[in-house]
Structures are given as structure tokens and as C-alpha cells.
Amino acid sequence: MAKSGLTENDPNSFARPDLCVVNHVHLEVDVDFKRKVLTGFVDLTFTKKSADAKSLILDMQVLDIREVTHLSSSEKLPYDSSVKDSVFGTKLEISLPEIEVGKSDVVRVSYETSPESSALQWLSPEQTAGGRHPYLYNHCEAIHARALLPCQDTPSVKAPYTASIRAPRELTVLMSAVREEPEDCGDGKTKVTRFSQKIPIPIYLIALVVGDLEKRKLGPRTHVWAEKDYVDTKCEGTVHGVYSCSTRIDSS
């Protein structure tokens, strides 16, 4: 093992995909602009690769872990988060029940992000083009996904993901995934938007934005999204440039 528990295969990560590897991620969170946090859970489907594996080892940074559950049995699983590094965050080691090598299982980690998350940027209405609503976006590259969700934050691990994001109903939620139509939550204040990314991707490519957004169609398969006050005016040159590029792509 490398210094501070970081792995030899990736000295920027605590994760041990050689023991247990995550092969699907499902994220469900509520967006809280007032507190500047995401609250919810992530379901991690993993496969045991080694008989020596007694735990699922993840990366995290400034996350408040509420509990960890073995999804099929509803059993609460013990975990350890005592190993920390000032740069690379915290090693989250989840003790696992008996699992055969080659078999898959699912754990649910309930958690909350921090207002100081390096992955999330929270903008006040005054910082936006429209000045009416707040705005949230994330940036996980290179090693900030661990501040968004507990994960194997190494590019050697690629997995598809699904997500369900609950946010103020007047705002649009987008992700780096196929988007379903939002559904009202029935409280008159929020709606939930669901996403599916079937292509296995490294965790740092999970992208999230929540804001007062509109789209403009560029081609048969392409759109551009931006703030309502930005998409037709300040971004006009960019839109035409993207349109020219998208036309070439669509016709190829």
C-alpha cells in the first residue's frame, strides 16, 4: 500500500477495485439551495473479485455519512472512516457480509454533502444572468467526485449510472445522461427528474446542473442549454458555431 492508505495502482485514491469493483451507480438526492447541500443516498452495485475482500473500499471527502445498508437484507453495515488525508480525503471502508467471488451485491450509503464541497458550486441569484433564481453546477475532474458522493474515484473504474434529483419546481435539472420528463412531487414546491446513462464512464464524468435553463434545437440530435437570459443573446455567436459543428456531425 502507498502512503496514508492510498493504493499503488492509483496513488490519488483509496479505492481497491482489485478486491471489489463498482459496476453500477444509482444516485438519489434532494437539492437544498438554502443549506447548500445535497441530501440522499447512493446505491453501489459491486462485484467481489478476490477471496481476500472483506470490505468495499471507497473514496470520500467532507461527506456526512448517515448509515450504510446491505440492500438485499436491509442489514446495517459497519464502516470505518478514520483514515484521512489532507489532499485526497477520507477512506470509507464498508464491512461486507459473506459474498462469493464473482457475485454481485448492492450497498446503500445514505449521506449529505458539505457546503464546502470542492465538487459543487452554488451561485446566488445575483451571480446569474437572470438574477431571479440560484444556480448549481458540479465539476468532478480530476478527483472531486468523492466530494459529491462516496465512490471509487479512479478512472480505472467505469460504470453506468442512473439518478433521481429532487429540486425546486421552477428550475431545470440536467445531467450527463438521458433525461426523462420531470414529475411534480405533490408538495407544490419541488419536482423530481430522472436520468439514465447506460454507457460505462469514469465517475468524474458525472455532471449535474440545476438552474433557470432553456434549450435551443441545433440539429436533429443536438440542443444547447443555457440560462434563459443568456441562450439567445450573449451566447448567440457560440450557438451559431456549435450549430455549424453539429450540422456536420448530424450529416456524417
Q: What is the pLDDT of residues 117-150, one digit of tens each?
A: 999 999 999 999 999 999 999 999 999 999 999 9
CATH number, residue 48:
2.60.40.1730
Residue 131 CB neighbour total at 10 angstroms: 12
Residues 202, 223, single domain; the answer is no
Residues 195, 242, single domain; the answer is no
What whole-number percentage of the chain has pLDDT above 70?
Answer: 90
Please say if the pLDDT value at position 247 is more than 80.
Answer: no
> pLDDT band for position 221 (50/70/90)?
confident
- Give exposure, 18-56, as e/b (b: 16+ Cβ within 10 Å): ebbbbbbbbbbbbbbbeebbbbbbbbbbbbbeeeebbbb
Instruction: Considering only residues 237 and 224, tell me which one the structure prediction assigns the higher pLDDT.
Output: 224
Counting the structural domains of the chain, the total is 2
Residues 146, 186, single domain; the answer is yes
The confidence score (pLDDT) of residue 230 equals 80
What DSSP state is assigned to residue 198?
E
What DSSP state is assigned to residue 177?
S
Rounded to an integer, what distance in angstroms lies between the CA atom of residue 107 and that of residue 93? 12
The confidence score (pLDDT) of residue 220 equals 80
Residues 66, 100, single domain; the answer is yes
Residues 47, 97, single domain; the answer is yes
> pLDDT band for position 20 (50/70/90)?
very high
Selection from 47, 37, 30, 26 nearest residue 206 by Cα? 26
Place of cell 470490505: 55
What DSSP state is assigned to residue 145?
G
Task: Tell me which residue range forms the domain holding 220.
Answer: 212-252
Residues 131, 185, single domain; the answer is yes
Residues 228, 121, single domain; the answer is no
> pLDDT band for position 7 (50/70/90)?
confident
Q: What is the pLDDT of residues 170-203, one digit of tens each?
A: 999 999 999 999 999 999 999 999 999 999 999 9
Tell me what percent of the chain is helix, strand and coil, each rounded to the nearest 5: 15, 45, 40
The confidence score (pLDDT) of residue 1 equals 43
Residues 163, 245, single domain; the answer is no
Average pLDDT over residues 53-80: 98
Residues 19, 128, single domain; the answer is yes
Average pLDDT score over the chain: 93
Residues 151, 217, single domain; the answer is no
The confidence score (pLDDT) of residue 187 equals 96
Residues 10, 51, single domain; the answer is yes
Rounded to an integer, what distance in angstroms lies between the CA atom of residue 232 and that of residue 226? 9
What whole-number percentage of the chain has pLDDT above 90?
Answer: 82
Residues 125, 23, single domain; the answer is yes
Q: What is the pLDDT of residues 230-246, one digit of tens each?
A: 887 655 655 556 556 65
